């Protein structure tokens, strides 16, 4: 069974004034272990789609099923808890808490999940090592480069072992070298931890690294390309 399914998904902004069809009749399945990118011109609905499958926003029509549960029917607090326990997020910016160190930032989610202290620390150090920041555990975000900050964000998203990780243009603010480095890390974690990644991007080189490319145009599915191997 797919881990995420969208069924006749619509998101319409300002439905009763001048409606904006941000998403139109999307029927998409995502499987465990995918490494998928959502692409399309600006305003095509990439962010909106990620927000829907991340439980950050509710569909106007249709549904989003995660492991068979329709998350749009959950109560507000339940959705927040659902996000906390099952979804990892990487945003384009404002990812990290400036007053916390890399290690504390990565630990935060697991702490909110009330996991055991020792487990949290070991896991946080482990994922920070995986993203190549073993020597930056105690650095504050302001002491890290943009690329390093995004790597911390990826580490945090993974640390709690969510069902899948969503990333909205994670490389948009990075130079191409850092962007490729981040992609390498994500690709490796996708394999090593068999973590499902769904990310949006405008960057052609990033698109090339994905194993599946979902293209949106004006909120509708334009192309769904699954690469072999």
Partner 1 sequence: MKTLLLLSWKNVWRNRTRSFALMLAITLGIAAGLIMFGLMAGMILQRFEGLVQNQLAHIQIHENNYLSEQENSLIIQDLYQIKPILDTISSLEGYAFRTISNGMIASGYYSSGIKIMGLDKKEEASISRFPENITDGTYLNDSIRNPIVISQRLAKKLRVQIGGRLVLTFQDLDGNITSSAFRVSSLYRTSNANFDDANVMVKRDDLQQLLGNNEAFHQVAILLTDHTKAAEVAMALDLKLPNSEVRSWESLSPELRILVEQGGFIMYVFMIIILLGLAFGILNTMLMAVFERIQELGMLMSLGMQKAKIASMIILETIFIAIIGGVVGIGLGILITKSFETKGLDLSGFADALAEFGYEAIIYPELGTEDIVITLLLVFATSILSAIIPALRAVQLNPAEAVRK
Ligand X SMILES: Nc1ncnc2c1ncn2[C@@H]1O[C@H](COP(=O)(O)OP(=O)(O)OP(=O)(O)O)[C@@H](O)[C@H]1O
Residues that bind partner 1 (CB under 8 A): 47, 51, 54, 56-57, 77, 80-85, 87, 89, 91-95, 97-100, 108-109, 111-112
Nearest to 69 by CA among 88, 48, 51, 53: 53
Give the nearer residue to ligand X in terms of CB position, either 13 or 222: 13
What is the closest distance, in whole angstroms, from the C-beta atom of residue 136 to partner 1 in the complex?
18
Phi-psi region at 133: left, alpha or beta (left = phi > 0; alpha = psi -120 to 50): alpha
What is the closest distance, in whole angstroms, from the C-beta atom of residue 182 to ligand X in the complex?
18
83 binds, among Mg ion, ligand X, partner 1, none (CB under 5 to 8 A by kind): partner 1
How many residues touch ligand X under the rule CB under 6 A: the total is 12
What is the closest distance, in whole angstroms, from the C-beta atom of residue 82 to partner 1 in the complex?
8
The three-state secondary structure class of 18 is: coil
**Token pair 């979902």 is at which residue?**
214
Contacts for 201-206 with beta carbons within 8 Å, 24 or more apart?
A: 201/37, 201/38, 201/39, 201/169, 201/170, 201/171, 201/172, 202/39, 202/42, 202/169, 202/172, 203/171, 203/172, 203/176, 203/179, 205/176, 205/179, 205/180, 206/37, 206/171, 206/179, 206/180
Single out the residue of 5, 6, 36, 44 in contact with ligand X (rule: CB under 6 A): 44
d(CA 190, CA 86): 16
Give the nearer residue to ligand X in terms of CB position, either 125 or 153: 153
Contact 206, 200 (CB under 8 A): no
6 binds ligand X (CB under 6 A): no
Give the nearer residue to partner 1 in terms of CB position, either 83 or 151: 83
Give the nearer residue to partner 1 in terms of CB position, either 115 or 209: 115
Contact 217, 23 (CB under 8 A): no
Single out the residue of 6, 30, 36, 45 in contact with ligand X (rule: CB under 6 A): 45
43 binds, among ligand X, Mg ion, partner 1, none (CB under 5 to 8 A by kind): ligand X
43 binds ligand X (CB under 6 A): yes
Name the residues that contact ligand X, by CB under 6 A: 13-14, 20, 22, 40, 42-48
């Amino acid at each position: 069974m797919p881990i995420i399914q969208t069924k006749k998904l619509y998101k319409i902004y300002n439905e009763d004034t001048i409606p904006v069809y941000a998403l139109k009749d999307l029927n998409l399945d995502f499987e465990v272990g995918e490494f998928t990118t959502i692409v399309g011109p600006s305003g095509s609905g990439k962010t909106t789609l990620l927000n829907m499958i991340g439980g950050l926003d509710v569909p106007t029509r249709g549904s989003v099923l995660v492991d068979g549960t329709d998350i749009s029917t959950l109560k507000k607090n339940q959705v927040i808890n659902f996000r906390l326990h099952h979804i990892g997020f990487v945003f384009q910016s404002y990812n990290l808490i400036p007053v916390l160190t890399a290690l504390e930032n990565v630990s935060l989610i697991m702490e909110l999940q009330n996991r055991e202290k020792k487990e949290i620390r070991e896991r946080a150090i482990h994922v920070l090592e995986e993203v190549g920041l073993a020597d930056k555990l105690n650095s504050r975000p302001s002491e890290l480069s943009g690329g390093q900050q995004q790597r911390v964000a990826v580490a945090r998203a993974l640390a709690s072992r969510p069902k899948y990780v969503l990333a909205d243009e994670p490389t948009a603010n990075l130079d191409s070298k850092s962007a490729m480095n981040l992609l390498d890390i994500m690709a490796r974690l996708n394999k090593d931890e068999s973590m499902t990644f769904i990310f949006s991007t405008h960057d052609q080189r990033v698109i090339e690294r994905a194993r599946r490319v979902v293209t949106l145009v004006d909120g509708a599915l334009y192309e769904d390309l699954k690469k072999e191997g």
